[in-house]
């Protein structure tokens, strides 16, 4: 501090001297350049205030976009190129991370995935793990990095200059993760493995005090691969020091080569202008070097053959004539689609009732507090006839209609059926509370008692759940406690083992009908505490066949910590009510069926 005071005093005295000289002949207030040490000190202070970007060697242009620019890309839906890193190598990459300014969900940024030297989905493909840019200080709670069954990425090796504290999965500080990111994956030292990501404002570093082991099927291949996965964001890749598989993409302007049309309507009401009819259409344009971009309707030229003023099928012609940078292209590209111009609907009438009009719900402790719970309407077998403005009638495709939700409470419920132009009809359905019957899975021990059971290797027999009924399964869950997913898993499928949905104990699942369901878990408030309490937890799982083409899975888990945890997946769809079975599997855990003397319905095959 004392040196700073001397410098400040000298600067002030110099400034006063400069002001005094301005009255002298030939004096120039702005030409003073001495004493030299003061000028050098000022320059040093100013330079220190400027952000300095790390200078990386050997960087080459690799300019392309990963993810949808409307921030709608889900996790594991879009990927960067593969970047192969050999032993003793360091991969440096730079890219712009674009975050949705209207969504502070903490995990909607990007992850770098580290794998062996095999393509995703290949038989021998294995992951070391994935590291996201966000950090919360507790990976067991918020899963900001994870490893596979083959390898682990311990959170204790991670540091970050910006720890997030999400409430309801939100934290405004996650917006600090956006901007130009420099990513380094460092294998240059044999005694460590380092991943670093920084945008200047936030730096996250994973420093593992030992090298990666070789997981390639060919032991002589010591390479690893890395790729990037955005979620709810998109990445404008800029440069890399390692040439990716498939080659580099230059920053030079690129000519359009082809395009694919999205959201072209199947039908358009007679009297609608072409521009109005196509206002939601977009095109995914592919340019030279494989670069892609989504183009909105406002930048596309539309024409239709035949006349839009006559009902019937039309050929839509879409033309685009800009380069990647928005200049006039050397040659326009063209895409085609078909749609129908139809008479406007004046009214609709239900001319055939649905096959099923009685629905069922079950309300255990997992959902007893839900006051706004709803169920989906099932239009199977229903026939709706439209009357058009010209007096003609026709049966409508049910997929072109919208249906109101059904309240999950006992009684008669009205369902509103609506056309695209707002015409309505109503019908009534009946909702009843399902009766629950205890069921037992066999064998009564699923998984190895030392909790080493691998994924998808141990199963219970299937138990049928008839339409309108609920089956409850009571068992004790034991886990190795390493990961949230190392617990019981519930499988819904048909007699041919085609899956409707697979749902885990930790509020995650997949399958044909999973995306439609509503799900939540009280354990999410403290995943670490929940996981510890699941080793020896007393669990009851309820599976309900709702008789509307959906099924519900609900669970009540009494942990070893004395707390009761709940979980639900409501409305798993694509279910055939006449063909619903449930089974259980274990992942690094084991399940011991209860010995309740309650009446059991097994209905096995």
Look up the CATH number of the domain holding residue 414: 2.60.40.3630
pLDDT in the model for residue 571: 98
Q: Select from 341, 361, 393 the last residue of a domain.
A: 341
C-alpha distances in Å from residue 470, one per residue of 31, 340, 600: 89, 45, 12
Of the CA atoms within 13 Å of residue 603, those in its CB half-sphere come to 21
Is residue 104 domain-shared with residue 201, that is, in the same domain? yes
Give the distance from CA 92 to its chain's centroid. 26
Is residue 445 domain-shared with residue 502, that is, in the same domain? yes
Q: Total structural domains in the chain?
A: 4
pLDDT in the model for residue 40: 55
Is residue 415 domain-shared with residue 494, that is, in the same domain? no
Cβ count near 41 (within 10 Å) = 14
In a domain, 39, yes or no: no
CATH code, 99: 2.60.120
Give the distance from CA 247 to its chain's centroid. 27
Is residue 86 domain-shared with residue 197, that is, in the same domain? yes
Q: Cβ-count burial of 89 within 10 angstroms (0-12 exposed, 13-18 middle, 19+ buried)? A: middle
Asked if residues 280 and 296 have their Cβ atoms less than 8 Å apart, the reply is: no
| Coil, strand or helix at 17 | helix
C-alpha distances in Å from residue 549, one per residue of 431, 508, 578, 580: 14, 21, 9, 10
Please list the alpha-helical segments (H only) found in 295-420.
none
Among positive and negative, which fits the CA dihedral 227, 228, 231, 237?
A: negative
Tally of residues, the chain: 605
Phi-psi region of 84 (alpha: psi -120 to 50; beta: other; left: phi over 0): beta
In a domain, 100, yes or no: yes
pLDDT in the model for residue 37: 52
pLDDT in the model for residue 5: 40
* Radius of gyration of the chain from its Cα atoms, rounded to whole angstroms: 31
Among positive and negative, which fits the CA dihedral 244, 250, 255, 259?
A: positive
CATH code, 313: 2.60.40
Is residue 501 domain-shared with residue 574, that is, in the same domain? yes
In a domain, 137, yes or no: yes
Least Cα distance to 171 among 182, 181, 160 occurs for 160
Q: Select from 312, 341, 370 the last residue of a domain.
A: 341
- The C-alpha atoms of residue 205 and residue 586 are separated, in whole angstroms, by 34
pLDDT means per 10 residues, the chain with 605 residues, are: 40 41 40 48 50 74 93 94 97 97 96 96 92 80 72 83 90 96 96 96 95 94 98 96 95 95 94 95 92 91 92 96 94 97 96 98 95 96 96 94 97 97 97 96 97 96 98 98 94 97 95 94 91 98 98 98 98 98 98 60 39
Least Cα distance to 453 among 591, 583, 594, 560 occurs for 591
Q: Select from 433, 462, 496 the last residue of a domain.
A: 433
DSSP state of 170: B
Is residue 444 domain-shared with residue 549, that is, in the same domain? yes
Is residue 466 domain-shared with residue 505, that is, in the same domain? yes
C-alpha distances in Å from residue 262, one per residue of 278, 282, 288, 568: 10, 5, 21, 34
Pairing of strands 358-361, 424-433: parallel
Asked if residues 295 and 286 have their Cβ atoms less than 8 Å apart, the reply is: no
DSSP state of 309: T
Is residue 81 domain-shared with residue 230, that is, in the same domain? yes
pLDDT in the model for residue 28: 40
pLDDT in the model for residue 586: 97
Is residue 371 domain-shared with residue 463, that is, in the same domain? no
Q: Can you give the residue range of the structural domain that contains 519?
A: 436-593
DSSP state of 454: P
Is residue 236 domain-shared with residue 121, that is, in the same domain? yes
pLDDT in the model for residue 603: 38
- The C-alpha atoms of residue 502 and residue 307 are separated, in whole angstroms, by 49
In a domain, 193, yes or no: yes
- The C-alpha atoms of residue 596 and residue 258 are separated, in whole angstroms, by 64
Q: Phi, psi (5° rounding) for residue 299?
A: -105, 10
Q: How far apart are the first and last CA of the chain?
A: 83
In a domain, 44, yes or no: no
Is residue 260 domain-shared with residue 224, that is, in the same domain? no
pLDDT in the model for residue 151: 72
Taking CB atoms within 8 Å and a gap of at least 24, the contacts of 175-180 are 175/99, 175/101, 175/104, 176/201, 176/202, 177/97, 177/99, 177/109, 177/133, 177/134, 177/202, 178/97, 178/98, 178/99, 178/109, 178/233, 179/96, 179/97, 180/53, 180/94, 180/95, 180/96, 180/97, 180/238
In a domain, 24, yes or no: no
């Amino acid at each position: 501090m004392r040196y700073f005071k001397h410098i400040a005093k000298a600067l002030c005295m110099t400034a006063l001297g400069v002001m005094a000289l301005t009255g002298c002949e030939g004096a120039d207030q702005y030409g003073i350049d001495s004493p030299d040490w003061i000028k050098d000190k000022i320059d040093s202070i100013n330079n220190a205030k400027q952000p300095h970007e790390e200078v990386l060697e050997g960087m080459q242009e690799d300019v392309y976009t990963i993810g949808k620019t409307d921030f709608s890309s889900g996790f594991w839906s879009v990927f960067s190129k593969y970047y192969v890193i050999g032993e003793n190598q360091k991969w440096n990459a730079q890219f712009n991370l674009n975050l949705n300014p209207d969504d502070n969900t903490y995990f909607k940024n990007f992850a770098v995935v580290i794998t062996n030297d095999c393509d995703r989905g290949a038989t021998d493909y294995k992951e070391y793990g994935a590291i996201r840019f966000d950090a919360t200080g507790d990976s067991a709670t918020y899963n900001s990095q994870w490893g596979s069954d083959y390898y682990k990425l311990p959170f204790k090796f991670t540091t970050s200059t910006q720890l997030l504290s999400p409430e309801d999965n939100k934290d405004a500080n996650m917006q600090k993760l956006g901007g130009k990111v420099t990513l380094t994956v460092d294998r240059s030292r044999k005694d460590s493995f380092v991943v670093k990501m920084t945008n200047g404002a936030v730096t996250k570093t994973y420093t593992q005090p030992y090298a990666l082991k070789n997981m390639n099927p060919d032991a002589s291949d010591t390479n690893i691969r890395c790729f990037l996965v955005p979620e709810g964001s998109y990445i404008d890749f800029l440069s890399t020091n390692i040439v990716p598989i498939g080659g580099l993409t230059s920053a030079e302007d690129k000519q359009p080569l082809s395009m694919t049309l999205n959201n072209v309507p199947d039908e358009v009401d007679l009297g609608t202008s072409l521009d109005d009819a196509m206002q939601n259409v977009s095109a995914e344009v592919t340019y030279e070097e494989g670069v892609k971009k989504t183009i909105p309707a406002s930048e596309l030229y539309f024409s239709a053959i035949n006349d839009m003023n006559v009902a019937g099928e039309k050929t839509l012609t879409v033309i685009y004539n800009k380069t990647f940078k928005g200049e006039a292209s050397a040659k326009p590209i063209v895409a085609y689609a078909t749609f129908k111009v139809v008479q406007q609907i004046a009214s609709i009438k239900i001319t055939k009732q649905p096959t099923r009009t009685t629905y069922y719900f079950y309300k255990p402790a997992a959902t007893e507090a839900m006051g706004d719970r709803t169920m989906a309407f099932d239009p199977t077998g229903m026939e709706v006839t439209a009357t058009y403005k010209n007096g003609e009638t026709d049966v409508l495709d049910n997929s072109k209609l919208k249906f109101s939700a059904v309240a999950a409470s006992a009684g008669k419920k009205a369902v509103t059926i609506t056309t695209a132009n707002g015409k309505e009809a109503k019908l009534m359905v009946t909702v009843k509370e399902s009766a629950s019957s205890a069921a037992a899975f066999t064998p009564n021990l699923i998984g190895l008692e030392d909790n080493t059971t691998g994924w998808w290797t141990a199963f219970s027999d299937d138990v049928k759940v008839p339409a309108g009924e609920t089956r409850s399964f009571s068992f004790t869950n034991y886990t190795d406690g390493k990961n949230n997913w190392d617990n019981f898993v519930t499988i819904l499928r048909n007699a041919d083992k085609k899956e409707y949905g697979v749902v885990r104990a930790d509020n995650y699942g997949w399958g044909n009908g999973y995306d439609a369901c509503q799900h939540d878990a009280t354990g999410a408030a403290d995943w670490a505490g929940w996981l510890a309490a699941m080793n020896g937890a007393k669990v009851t799982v309820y599976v309900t066949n709702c008789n509307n083409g959906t099924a519900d899975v609900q669970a009540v888990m009494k942990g070893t910590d004395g707390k009761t945890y709940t979980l639900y997946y409501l409305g798993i769809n694509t279910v055939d009510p006449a063909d619903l079975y449930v089974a259980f599997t274990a992942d690094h855990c084991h399940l011991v069926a209860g010995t309740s003397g309650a009446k059991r319905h097994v209905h096995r095959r």
